[in-house]
Amino acid sequence: MRVLPADYIVMVFYMVIVIALGVYVSNQGGNFENILLAGRKVGLYGLAASFIATEWGPVGMYFKMDAGSPFMLSQLYPAWAIFGAFLVVGFLGLSTVLPRRTKIMTAGEILGLRYGKAARVIFGILMTVSYILLLGMLLNVSSAMFAVFLGTSPGFMMILMVLVTAIYTVSGGMWSIVLTNYIHVAVIGIMVPVSALFSVRAAGGFEHLFAELSDAAAKAAPAADSFALDTGFGSVFVKFLLFLCIALCFPTVYSRTFSAKSASTAYKGFIVGAVALLGCAVFSIVIAAASTVVSPNAAGATAFARTIVASTPNGLIGLMCASAMGVFMSACSSYYLAVGRMFSKDIMEQVLPGYKKLDDSASIHLLRTGIVLSAVFSLLIGFNARSLGAVFEAAAVVAASGGAACILFGLYWRRAGALGAIGSFASGGLYYIVSAFGFHSGYNLTYFGTILASFLAMILFSLMPRRRKTGKKSAKSSDLRTSK
């Protein structure tokens, strides 16, 4: 099959409805908190939809498509790791109960209250760099897919997607993201399973597909130790730890926590979203497996697009493309908003004393400036994504490891101090550099060591004797527990 005019009509119609809804919501007005956190009134289903669209969207659908390899079941490893990490954090309420009881707006504020300005700025800078690099990677991968759907160049699609997403984010704020997520998740939740079934049928059915995958796996390298750190269950464990750190500290996680109408809603939204995420991942993996038969000469997002176009009926192709683009827009909007939030609250407010005197309108302008700057830089990175992959990985792992240690101990351990916070980032970063670029260790060993170094540094440096200081004290974990 090929993309027909009917598919283009469906795409345009879908995107017009979604963008119009986002602009309509933005015209309702609101203060800085309303734009940033949707007035802290988001319900359970809104949180779950946001969770699915942001976490599963581009990352789950496209990045794992080049795993369209004979090891279909092995791609369930990261899915189970993500599911387990978010489920643990959800059930224990680690990122929801105490933070939501406060009136803070960012994850960085927890570090600022507990450890001071320096820790908050370091965290803000690391996370900002990580998110902008991630956005560049997503743009690069997604533009290749949508270029196949629409028959245009990836560069043009990259510019178009950044332009549309930036306008959507600047004008809409958190409320428009939440409400349009209902549409995206509803449509993609139907279309991905349907497309998976069509893909399997195009691959000759489940039996033929399984036989093809089995033959390819038999010709591959012999199986490694299932419990080694870089393979099998050891790999799942390391990925679980990494996603546990992400669930504990990443700003998009806390944007959902802080926008929930109650701590209970945030707690339940985490659990519902984690369960739905695992189901969504399974269908993406099925399409990835089918692409090895349907589109054997393609890889990554290109394989995804070609498999959908080759197997899905016309009309549904347009709907699948439009909903996938909608999920991409939703995820990137959440990331752009997170970067704008960190730029205004965790960086500019801390390094420029006069910023705290700005009124609500000026704060909104600074937030939007951060969004626009992140869009520009992410576009530049998108054109050079392959050369910056190692930088993104380093920044994200160090930020997640150090941030998780700071937030977890900051919330639940009274002895945690500023020296421990700085030490956790420094030790994790030093270990990552030595392991990845010095000894060229496997990535799972590097991840595990970075996480371990960050957590141990937090404990050891916090236990060191400290001189008593006079003046204003940092907030203790008990202060965060009782904040309203």
Rounded distance, CA 119 to CA 108, Å? 8
Q: Which two tokens stand for residue 401?
A: 């490891």
Rounded distance, CA 254 to CA 93, Å? 12
What is the signed CA dihedral for 361, 362, 363, 367, rounded to 10 degrees?
Answer: 100
Other residues' Cβ atoms within 10 Å of the Cβ of residue 482:
9
- Residue 64 has what pLDDT? 46
| Nearest residue to 54 (alpha-carbon basis) of 160, 177, 145, 163 | 177
Number of DSSP helices (H) and strands (E) in the chain, helices first? 21, 0
Rounded distance, CA 479 to CA 471, Å? 17
What is the 8-class DSSP label of residue 136? H
Other residues' Cβ atoms within 10 Å of the Cβ of residue 131:
26
Greater confidence, 420 or 258? 420
- Residue 66 has what pLDDT? 41
Q: What is the C-alpha R_g of the chain?
A: 22
- Residue 170 has what pLDDT? 81
- Residue 145 has what pLDDT? 78
Q: What is the tens place of the pLDDT at every residue in 299-322?
A: 666 777 788 888 888 778 878 777
Q: φ and ψ at 298, to 5 degrees?
A: -115, 165
Q: Which two tokens stand for residue 332?
A: 């990137």
Residue 482 reports pLDDT greater than 50 = no
What is the 8-class DSSP label of residue 81? H
Residue 477 reports pLDDT greater than 60 = no
Exposed, middle or buried by CB within 10 Å (0-12, 13-18, 19+), for 33? middle
- Residue 57 has what pLDDT? 54
Residue 121 reports pLDDT greater than 80 = yes
Q: What is the tens place of the pLDDT at every residue in 348-375?
A: 888 876 666 667 777 788 888 999 999 9
Q: φ and ψ at 260, to 5 degrees?
A: -65, 150
Average pLDDT over residues 1-10: 72
DSSP codes, 42-74: B-HHHHHHHHIIIIIHHHHHHGGGGG-SS-TGG
- Residue 62 has what pLDDT? 45
Greater confidence, 210 or 446? 446
What is the signed CA dihedral for 44, 131, 141, 156, rounded to 10 degrees?
Answer: 100
| Nearest residue to 398 (alpha-carbon basis) of 242, 187, 252 | 242
pLDDT-derived band of residue 458, with 50, 70 and 90 as boundaries?
very high
Half-sphere exposure of 172 (CA within 13 A, CB side): 28
What average pLDDT does the chain have?
Answer: 78
Q: φ and ψ at 42, to 5 degrees?
A: -80, 135
Q: What is the tens place of the pLDDT at every residue in 18-57?
A: 777 767 766 555 677 777 777 788 888 888 888 777 766 5
Greater confidence, 331 or 97? 331
Listed in sequence order, the residues at least 6 apart from 474 whose beta carbon sits closer than 8 Å to its beta carbon are 113, 114, 115, 116, 417, 418
**What is the dihedral sign for C-alpha 105, 109, 113, 114?**
positive
348 close to 373: Cβ distance less than 8 angstroms: no
Q: φ and ψ at 313, to 5 degrees?
A: -60, 150
Q: What pairs with residue 260 in β-bridges?
A: 42
40 close to 258: Cβ distance less than 8 angstroms: yes
